[in-house]
Amino acid sequence: MADIARRAENRYGNRPTMKDVAARAGVGLKTVSRVVNAEPGVTADTERRVQEAIDALGFRRNDSARVLRKGRTASVGLVLEDLADPFYGPLSRAVEEVARAHGALLINGSSAEDPGREQELALALCARRVDGLVVIPAGDDHRYLEPEIRAGVATVFVDRPAGRIEADTVLSDSYGGARAGVAHLIAHGHRRIGFIGDQPRIHTAVERLRGYRSAMADAGIPVEDAWMSLGTTVPERVRVAAEAMLSGPGAVTAVFAGNNRVTVTVVRVLAERSRPVALVGFDDLELADLLVPGLTVIAQDAAQLGRTAAERLFRQLDGGSRTPERIELPTRLITRGSGEIPPAD
């Protein structure tokens, strides 16, 4: 009695198993398995009897048990920074679509830009034996994944490269994009151009800053330290940074914003000021074309990033290419007004 009660509360309710179905249909376990999996070699009559028992009992195969024997779990993990960030939604959706096409489910989790949490999440997914892992790294040391990869977990890094291990990586051309964006500002007459980016431990932030420096160097413009600011993307920090470089006699006449979070805050800061300042942002925003002036951006394709990574992942699982590759997707300059404002003086 106690045993039955415990069973009912601890286990999956008290779901019928193949054994229950077999008993009710008066057949062997294997026959039920055949029917459930639509395998050949069952007479129509037997099949009907089994199907009736399945319906009567409300049987649903426990895929969790199936997985234990089969090997593959038909699930992939996605570790990203924040599911609520509009950049990662489309990326995640794209990974999901590819997974779905391969019959796999997607488990995703947010690292909140915390390397410890990234590792914890990634390893928890490995313990669940996901077939593969798509990682947008928060940390810069991924040696903790080496045993997992060796054990057969397919792995692809997206948006930022893996740290200290060799792995498939899919990136946007941050360097080239930022370079093109800053060159665009220079072409419109600016020489005093500010750069506000994410924290320096984040690869894309560093690459975009490198693009900025390169464009400035190409134009022969010496860069002042006061024009560059890397740090968290919380509005307060970005606001302070923007206001600092927009003030005083050596104020910048244009700003390059390093990502979508930064851009949003910079747009707010500029909206409060009377003197027009040019702005180009990395990443497109939903209503960018409806702002006044329209927002000029370097757009990257988040969905394409996710799709490419997921396809790469399943190629690994299908036994394809085992040599890590680095894929870089192009960015695109979209001019809408804010980046074409001439210098104030």
CB of 45 to DNA, least distance (A): 7
Could you give the CA distance from residue 54 to residue 278 in angstroms, rounded to a whole number? 67
Under rule CB under 8 A, residue 317 binds its own copies: no
Per-position x/- string for 22-61, each x denoting binding to DNA as judged by CB under 7 A, each - no binding: -----xxxxx-xx-xx--xxxx-xx------------x-x
Under rule CB under 8 A, residue 13 binds its own copies: yes
Options 1, 2, 44, 151; binder of its own copies; rule CB under 8 A: 151
* 113 alpha carbon, distance to own chain's centre: 12
Antiparallel, parallel or unpaired: β 254-257 and 105-110:
unpaired
CA nearest neighbour of 245 among 190, 183, 179, 184: 190
Beta-carbon contacts of residue 119 (< 8 Å; ≥ 6 apart): 139, 144
Under rule CB under 8 A, residue 38 binds its own copies: no
Contact 288, 227 (CB under 8 A): no
Under rule CB under 7 A, residue 19 binds DNA: yes
Contact 201, 207 (CB under 8 A): no
CB nearer to DNA: pick between 37 and 323: 37
Partner that binds at residue 40, options its own copies, DNA, none, CB closer than 5 to 8 Å by kind:
DNA
The count of residues interacting with DNA (CB under 7 A) is 30
Under rule CB under 7 A, residue 66 binds DNA: yes
Segment contacting its own copies by CB under 8 A, of 89-97, 135-143, 160-168, 234-242: 89-97
Sequential DSSP letters for 5-62: HHHHHHSSTT---HHHHHHHHTS-HHHHHHHHTT-S---HHHHHHHHHHHHHHT----
Contact 333, 183 (CB under 8 A): no
For 226, the 3-state DSSP assignment is helix
CB nearer to DNA: pick between 42 and 215: 42
User: Within positions 256 to 275, which residues make up the interface with its own copies, using CB under 8 A?
Assistant: 264, 267-268, 271
Could you give the CA distance from residue 46 to residue 43 in angstroms, rounded to a whole number? 5
Q: Residues in the site for its own copies, rule: CB under 8 A?
A: 9-15, 58, 60-65, 67-68, 70-73, 75, 82-86, 88-90, 92-94, 96, 100, 105-110, 123-129, 147-148, 150-153, 264, 267-268, 271, 285-292, 303, 319
Q: Residues in the site for DNA, rule: CB under 7 A?
A: 6, 11-12, 15, 17-19, 27-31, 33-34, 36-37, 40-43, 45-46, 59, 61-62, 65-66, 68-70
